[in-house]
Structure 1
């Protein structure tokens, strides 16, 4: 899933590295998701020249990696994509659990389904996917995912949803009340019908959620909590919905590609971002929590108390593991039909 502004996919090289660099590191990350301060600090501390390229979805990144010879050392896949990449032998077993800064990782994020014990990955950021509303334009209830699928008249044609198969289909599953990754044909028909019925109400399908709502192009956008935090810095009336349905949780993870040319520098980077003060730079830039204990001490107080970051009592979320192949095949058919 994409949680950031869709950036132009173009390699940009930070020029703060010393002239006699000890090495290089090539990072492939989501667009508008990497703190320049973090990269500058890493370059200066380790005398490593960093280049960064961006992608807009797990699927885009995975296709490039599967094709081979990507030239990247580090990628930042979401939880379910990590599982796929480990199963396919695409990631290097770097043993973050033996690194000096591993002690800072929040314990509940160690034995995760996608990388039990953390032999391959470290957290980058984690969050929720629901939607944000400009409450200057809409003052009605915003506690249900149904706002995206059965909106009131005033919001029809004023909604953006993510151009993301998994996030949108999982939202539809929550709306119609069926299990995530269901293989039941009747349930999948309900999901398909709900998506097709709602499509006329959507103005756009785009990852560029911040621009969509802050420009006034839409009044509601499916989005991620960190993006909503950044939206609110521009328009205080924008609020992130904590829905009564179980919300989609996700975590992006710093991973090293199998056969990467700069494995040792990649390991340095994994350890580097587990230091609380460095994890704080990640969150300060993109607006998401990071999975590292003590990082909030290095962040402004308003971030730690932000309503987008803190789930209210009674709200729940879940990570969704990769769906079975036969379900993904049906998802692809539903998605292709929806995009016609």
Structure 2
């Protein structure tokens, strides 16, 4: 999903985007696209990629659904891919134009959210957990109590990223439920915990990489790659996997139905499935990808990083979010709306 949102666009994007030979419009999560990758793609193909940022799945969906976005490619999270497909906003891929599709690792090929990879190919995947400055707090970081029962050392020093699906489902799992539950007792427990905890948070904001790095925040619910980037700048930052259950996600790239630069879009998708290029994406944002053979080109510090390589003892607690039912989505939205007040 994720993310590392930056209000500044990676590359300047025009508000009125139009088709032009040798150009491509990518709509992606902020601070998530490797500039080195874009420079290499342009050098090899002559195609200039303009990246426009978004900060949530819902924001991206609403923007494109409104029509006239001018974008060619989008990168939704796993639980949103079926929504994009059902709404007809992304189109089935023409595999004849994707000679590198066979590079998708087998475990990421026949995924629940896109069987046989009809609509999308992998971008990056990771988890949502707890980033904590262990110099400030020395207790257990592998629990959602870090943000739902805030330890005294972290009161007024912990941020919560404003990503509804991640935060509400973390609370649901903490309350003993499964993601996208319709169990009202579990939902009430999760809702009450979130509302009670909020006064102890410093903010609900993006930018955790920078603010954990420079000690503006002592902790944050955060994504693993962002946390690794923070740790490289501030060795006191550690990443925790909530034992009650934590979110796993994969963001995948697809072609929009109204794409104007279709051939360029296919060239880009094929390009990112070359192992060396997939490793560039990962090396920048610090998340794993779904391309076989890319490990050989990954930065050495990612090959054993605890934020990237999930420790065996925490693997079973990870959950990929399903696409929620309309009722479950309604409940979550109600909780989230109340939390924003």
TM-score of the pair, normalised by structure 1: 0.94
1:334 aligns with 2:300: no
Partner of 1:270: 269
> Which stretch shifts more, 124-133 or 175-184?
175-184
The list of structure 1 runs, each at least 4 consecutive aligned residues, that deviate by more than 2 angstroms after superposition, is 5-11, 95-99
Partner of 1:227: 226
Partner of 1:166: 165
Partner of 1:323: 324
Q: Are the structure 2 counterparts of residues 48 and 98 from structure 1 closer, same or farther at C-alpha, using a change threshold of 3 Å? A: closer
Q: Are the structure 2 counterparts of residues 288 and 242 from structure 1 closer, same or farther at C-alpha, using a change threshold of 3 Å? A: same
CA distance in structure 2 between the aligned counterparts of 1:331 and 1:244, rounded to whole angstroms: 22
Structure 2 counterparts to residues 1-340 of structure 1, below 5 A: 1-8=1-8, 12=12, 23-96=22-95, 99-315=98-314, 316=316, 317-340=318-341
CA distance in structure 1 between the aligned counterparts of 2:309 and 2:283, rounded to whole angstroms: 16
Q: Any gaps of 5 or more consecutive residues in structure 1?
A: 14-20
CA deviations over 1:237-268 (Å, ceiling 9, x no partner): 11111232232100011111002111111111
Question: Shift of residue 96 of structure 1?
Answer: 4.4
Contact 2:174 2:245 in 1 (8 A): no
Q: Secondary structure at the match of 1:50?
A: strand
CA distance in structure 1 between the aligned counterparts of 2:217 and 2:35, rounded to whole angstroms: 30
Q: How many residues align?
A: 333
Q: Secondary structure at the match of 2:166?
A: helix
CA distance in structure 2 between the aligned counterparts of 1:72 and 1:256, rounded to whole angstroms: 9
CA distance in structure 1 between the aligned counterparts of 2:129 and 2:65, rounded to whole angstroms: 30
CA distance in structure 2 between the aligned counterparts of 1:305 and 1:61, rounded to whole angstroms: 33
CA distance in structure 1 between the aligned counterparts of 2:206 and 2:95, rounded to whole angstroms: 31
CA distance in structure 1 between the aligned counterparts of 2:11 and 2:271, rounded to whole angstroms: 22
Contact 1:77 1:254 in 2 (8 A): yes
Q: Secondary structure at the match of 2:38?
A: helix
Q: Secondary structure at the match of 2:40?
A: helix
TM-score of the pair, normalised by structure 2: 0.94
Q: Secondary structure at the match of 2:172?
A: helix
CA deviations over 1:209-245 (Å, ceiling 9, x no partner): 1122223222110101100110011001111112322
Question: Shift of residue 3 of structure 1?
Answer: 2.1
CA distance in structure 1 between the aligned counterparts of 2:30 and 2:258, rounded to whole angstroms: 24
Question: Shift of residue 10 of structure 1?
Answer: 7.9
Aligned-residue RMSD, C-alpha: 1.6
> Which stretch shifts more, 116-125 or 150-159?
150-159
CA distance in structure 2 between the aligned counterparts of 1:41 and 1:171, rounded to whole angstroms: 38
CA deviations over 1:94-144 (Å, ceiling 9, x no partner): 144872112211101111121110111111100000111111211111121
Question: Shift of residue 8 of structure 1?
Answer: 2.8
Partner of 2:17: none
Question: Shift of residue 208 of structure 1?
Answer: 1.5
CA deviations over 1:136-170 (Å, ceiling 9, x no partner): 21111112111111122111111100111111101
